[in-house]
């Protein structure tokens, strides 16, 4: 197989070029990720907490089969007995009202307490440490011996620790458990080993090793797979989660910061629960850790139009925050900017500093609204928020919304409003068949370059096969070509726990112990890790009919100004190989080699838990020539990166 790559002296040495082939600056933030807490993406997913329902706040409002003791079992092995009840009088904090009251009347041989099954079991590894903590209130007034242990399904102890609870009033106790055996489905047992009465809340277990070793941190392996995409930004926390199922369910960022025992938990629009242990501070911190710009999205003062399941009868469920409450809501939006960017001496900057981050997070983008129905109720509230933010913080790039589809009434109304207000960026969404992506590669060619830029906040073809991923790759080469008007793009959704998926497809699947990147993931990774900020048109010529008539192919040629590297991408979603030609003679002395990465295979192949490596990128080193013809295989993505470092060493 022969590969050839077009490079020009313009690219490397600054030659002049004709107008048609003139380089253009494109967004340096083009390819990123979108995180939404659906399919157990946060609790039971990226958030490393191993205890499910740790604060006993589950309820039938989350899921009709749930209650405060979901995932818990009253433990009386060893012939102990007493009573157990869920209480709300005198909790740790009013925001965390429920707790367990145990009245141990006879501790028996082992003690009386609670057992938690985690999220499909608690995975532990031999030789590793786990950080346990709990809030206890010893109401009986006498010291109580406590044992906490991790056990397997047969009760075999995998690791344990013991301590004494002695004080009336809520007090946090922390222990470290060293585990001696591997187990994928352990349980945590908390036992009180004497007669007495005690309140129990915020039972927590984290791996000692979290991502970047942060306390209240993230699951290391899953976070690393996300980081390996090398995204330029991360949008969070949703999605539909942001504007919620009704006004009372709108995601309020202030409820998600501060000590975890004081945060306000709430129902998830996807029919489970949000502990908000992964809150705004943790989102900002994660973005910083992986080198991605933060793109928080706040509700535009309205709930999801699908609230109450009304999508079944025509999507009429959108409700607005009452107008007499909108001034306070607008202030919440402004306070978020202060929380992210304000000095540590400011009111909200001080709260950020108290959480361990005195320096600003350098927020640049702020989304207002998520694929909302463009109604009068929406427009009135969006204008209020937009005007206030634009006036107070003209440095912030505001992202508006143009509905849930790539066309239609809401799309047209959303763009009209964006024009009227001169909104800098608007958020387009589309989930379509692969053929749609192949037929719409000219979508942004005719967009007005002097008006609002575009953020494609959510997009995916319907599937996780190689063919789906390559259809997306062809489309992405055209996003690079239009990177002057398309500022950002993010595949969605990002992650999903196997057995708890609310939506398919997803970019990454996982269970309690393993992470399974899809073929789509590797395509996204190749584009994000090999992004550029200068696009050079006309640098590669595809031969034959495919060059002019067939939309199954796409090519792009970009330069990364930060490194000087030159990157060529050729995506072929067709059933035949593609040939092309390049002329590198204008460069002068060529670098000795370049890195070639190819993603290819059977178009129906997919990575899964049963076959996680069905399709993987394959990299090699190739030599360069001045006159080059190339051929790329059917159903493939080819990426070539030429390092400027190798060129400079030869000069």
Comparing CA positions, the residue from 446, 414, 409 lying closest to residue 428 is 414
Cβ proximity of 272 and 62 under 8 Å:
yes
Cβ proximity of 489 and 232 under 8 Å:
no
107 as an active site residue: the answer is: no
Cβ proximity of 204 and 134 under 8 Å:
yes
Considering 371, 379, 458, 472, which one is annotated as catalytic? 371
Torsion of the alpha carbons at 226, 228, 234 and 235, rounded to the nearest 10: -40
Return d(Cα 49, Cα 281) in angstroms, integer. 16
Distance from CA of residue 343 to its chain's centroid?
27
Distance from CA of residue 504 to its chain's centroid?
15
Return d(Cα 612, Cα 49) in angstroms, integer. 25
Cβ proximity of 433 and 461 under 8 Å:
yes
Comparing CA positions, the residue from 417, 355, 413 lying closest to residue 385 is 417
Q: Tally Cβ neighbours within 10 Å of residue 255.
A: 17
Burial class (CB in 10 A: 0-12, 13-18, 19+), 94: exposed
Task: State the angle between helix axes of 323-341 and 280-290 in degrees (0 to 180), rounded to the nearest 10.
Answer: 40
Cβ proximity of 496 and 533 under 8 Å:
no
Q: Which DSSP symbol is given to 485?
A: T
Q: Which DSSP symbol is given to 591?
A: P
Return d(Cα 646, Cα 624) in angstroms, integer. 12
| Strand 129-138 versus strand 196-207 pairing type | antiparallel
DSSP codes joined into one string, 432-465: E-HHHHHH-TTTTTTS-TTS-EEEEEEEEES--S
Return d(Cα 343, Cα 349) in angstroms, integer. 5
336 preceded by a cis bond (ω within 30 of 0): no
Cβ proximity of 334 and 253 under 8 Å:
no
Return d(Cα 488, Cα 367) in angstroms, integer. 12
Return d(Cα 469, Cα 467) in angstroms, integer. 5
Query: Which value, in Å, is the radius of gyration of the alpha carbons in the chain?
Result: 27
Provide the b/e sequence for 131-170 (b: ≥16 CB within 10 Å). Answer: bbbbbbbbbeeeebebbbbbbbeeeeebbbbebebeeeeb
HEC profile of 89-134: CCCCECCECCEEEEEEEECCCCCEEEEECECCEEEECCCCEEEEEE
Cβ proximity of 303 and 244 under 8 Å:
yes
DSSP 3-state of 212: helix
Return d(Cα 151, Cα 115) in angstroms, integer. 10
Residues marked active site are found at: 371
């Amino acid at each position: 197989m022969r590969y050839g790559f077009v490079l020009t002296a313009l690219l490397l040495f600054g030659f002049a070029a004709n107008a048609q082939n003139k380089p253009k600056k494109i967004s340096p933030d083009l390819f990123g990720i979108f995180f939404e807490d659906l399919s157990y993406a946060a609790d039971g997913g990226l958030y490393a907490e191993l205890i499910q329902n740790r604060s006993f706040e589950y309820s039938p409002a989350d899921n009709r089969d749930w209650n405060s003791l979901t995932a818990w079992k009253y433990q009386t092995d060893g012939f102990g007995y007493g009573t157990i009840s869920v209480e709300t009088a005198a909790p740790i904090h009013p925001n965390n009202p429920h707790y367990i009251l145990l009245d141990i009347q006879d501790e028996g041989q082992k003690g009386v307490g609670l057992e938690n099954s985690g999220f499909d079991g608690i995975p532990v590894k031999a030789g590793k440490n786990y950080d346990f903590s709990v809030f206890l209130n010893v109401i009986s007034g006498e010291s109580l011996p406590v044992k906490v242990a991790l056990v397997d399904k047969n009760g075999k102890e995998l690791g344990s620790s013991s301590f004494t609870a002695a004080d009336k009033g809520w007090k946090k106790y922390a222990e470290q458990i060293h585990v001696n055996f591997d187990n994928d489905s352990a349980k945590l047992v908390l036992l009180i080993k004497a007669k007495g009465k005690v309140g129990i809340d915020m039972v927590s277990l984290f791996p000692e090793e979290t991502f970047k070793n942060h306390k209240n941190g993230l699951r290391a392996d899953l976070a690393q797979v996300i980081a390996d995409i090398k995204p330029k930004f991360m949008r969070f926390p949703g999605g539909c989660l942001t504007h919620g199922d009704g006004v009372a369910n709108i995601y309020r960022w202030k409820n998600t910061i501060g000590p975890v025992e004081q945060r306000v938990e709430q129902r998830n629009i996807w029919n489970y629960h949000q502990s908000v242990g992964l809150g705004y501070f943790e989102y900002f911190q994660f973005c910083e850790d992986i080198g991605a710009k933060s793109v928080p999205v706040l509700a535009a003062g309205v709930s999801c139009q699908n609230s109450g399941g009304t999508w079944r009868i025509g999507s009429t469920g959108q409700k607005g925050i009452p107008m007499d409450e909108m001034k306070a809501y607008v202030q919440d939006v402004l306070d978020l900017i202060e929380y992210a960017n304000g000095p540590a001496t400011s009111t909200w900057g001080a709260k950020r500093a108290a959480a361990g981050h005195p320096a600003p997070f350098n927020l640049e983008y702020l989304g207002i609204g998520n694929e909302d129905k463009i109604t009068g109720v929406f427009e009135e509230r969006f204008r209020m928020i937009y005007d206030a933010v634009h006036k107070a913080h003209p440095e912030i790039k505001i992202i508006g919304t143009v509905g849930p589809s790539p066309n239609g009434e809401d799309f047209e109304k959303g763009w009209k409003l964006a024009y009227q207000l001169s909104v800098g960026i608007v958020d387009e969404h589309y989930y379509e068949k692969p053929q749609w992506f192949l037929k719409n590669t000219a979508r942004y060619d005719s967009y007005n370059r002097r008006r609002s830029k575009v953020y494609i906040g959510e997009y995916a073809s319907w599937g996780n096969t190689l063919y789906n991923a390559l259809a997306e790759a062809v489309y992405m080469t055209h996003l690079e070509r239009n990177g002057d008007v398309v500022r950002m793009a993010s595949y969605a959704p990002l992650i999903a726990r196997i057995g708890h998926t609310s939506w398919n497809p997803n970019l990454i699947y996982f269970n309690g112990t393993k992470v399974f990147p899809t073929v789509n993931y590797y395509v996204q990774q190749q584009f994000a890790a090999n992004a550029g900020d200068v696009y050079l048109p006309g640098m590669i010529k595809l031969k034959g009919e495919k060059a002019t008539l067939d939309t199954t192919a796409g090519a792009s040629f970009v330069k990364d100004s930060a490194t000087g590297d030159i990157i060529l991408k050729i995506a072929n979603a067709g059933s035949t190989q593609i040939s092309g030609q390049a002329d590198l003679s204008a460069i002068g002395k060529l670098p000795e080699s370049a890195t070639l990465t190819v993603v290819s295979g059977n178009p129906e192949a997919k990575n899964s838990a049963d076959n996680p490596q069905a399709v993987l990128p394959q990299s090699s080193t190739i030599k360069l020539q001045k006159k080059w013809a190339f051929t790329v295989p059917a159903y493939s993505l080819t990426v070539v990166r030429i390092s400027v470092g190798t060129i400079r060493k030869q000069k």
